[in-house]
Amino acid sequence: MKRVVLTGITGKVAQALVRQLADVYAISGVSIARMDQVLAQGGFTTWAEQLAAYRALVMEQLCAAFAGQDAVAHLGWNTRDENCSRGLDPLNVLVTDCVYQAALATAVPRLYLASSVHAYDFYRDRDPDQTPVGPWPEVSLDPFGWPPTSLYGVSKRWMEIAGQLYAKRLAPGQKILVVRLGDVSRDGRPHHAELRLWDSHVDLAGLFSAFVECPADAPNYSCVYGVSDNREARSGKSLLDPVNPYGFVPRGNAFTEPNRR
């Protein structure tokens, strides 16, 4: 049985993966250390010293947790101070960098990171008959791309770009997948507020498992949308295209789901 470690183990995404995959993988979890632990030590005269101490603490924690694992899923995020409608916590970016570096240091074969659909401004008016937005934009046509929805989306976009940088440093056999997760609810049911973004627990786990089990010739870096196949009845099209390089096909559709709320 392959070994998988999840950061942010108490969060709703991690708990959904645990419920779906506990019989498939040996799953462990880690709650990332907070800056408060460093500040409680005292003795620092500059913010740079505090940051260096925090990085060292997180790296030690993550390297210990990642050693010997077959896959890592980075799901941890301070959403109390940074989310789609509030603030910016730069420590989220620092922790993400630590995750990349710890995965490289421990040679974890599969590194999955939870970005967000908020990395793309889906709030903009859009023709429902338009082709679904794919995960691989033609950047030569628009090198700056669509803006994110928020500062939270900016941080997640940074995660995606950093993955492209670290992909060049991967050891043979290592792979990175950054997933622009949609709406993963605690109960697994879609919400009427944004049916286009729903990601069922089954589809969430299915994409993750497909990545963990992907063959050696799969790309060493990919960024895809983590949503179900949410096709509107009138147009027969979805907002976001869940295509991926692992052959996984999502089965859920929020618009036909009988248990939506």
58 alpha-carbon distance from chain centroid: 19
Q: Is residue 249 part of a domain?
A: no
CA distances from 82 to 86, 121, 149, 204, 256 (A): 5, 17, 13, 23, 32
Contact 75, 114 (CB under 8 A): yes
Question: What phi, psi does 117 have (nearest 5°)?
Answer: -60, -15
Domain that holds residue 67: 3-226
Q: Is residue 30 part of a domain?
A: yes
Residue 50's pLDDT is 95
Q: Is residue 18 part of a domain?
A: yes
Q: Is residue 256 part of a domain?
A: no
pLDDT tens-digit series, residues 189-213: 998 878 999 999 999 999 999 999 9
Q: Is residue 241 part of a domain?
A: no
pTM for the structure as a whole: 0.94
Is the pLDDT at 36 greater than 70? The verdict is: yes
Name the band, by pLDDT with cuts 50, 70 and 90, for residue 10. very high
Share of the chain above pLDDT 70, in %: 94
Q: Is residue 248 part of a domain?
A: no
Task: Report the domain count for the chain.
Answer: 1
Task: Specify the CATH number for the domain of residue 206.
Answer: 3.40.50.720
State the number of CA atoms in the 13 A half-sphere of 217 facing the CB.
Answer: 1
pLDDT tens-digit series, residues 108-143: 999 999 999 999 888 876 676 778 888 876 656 666
Q: Is residue 10 part of a domain?
A: yes
Q: Is residue 261 part of a domain?
A: no
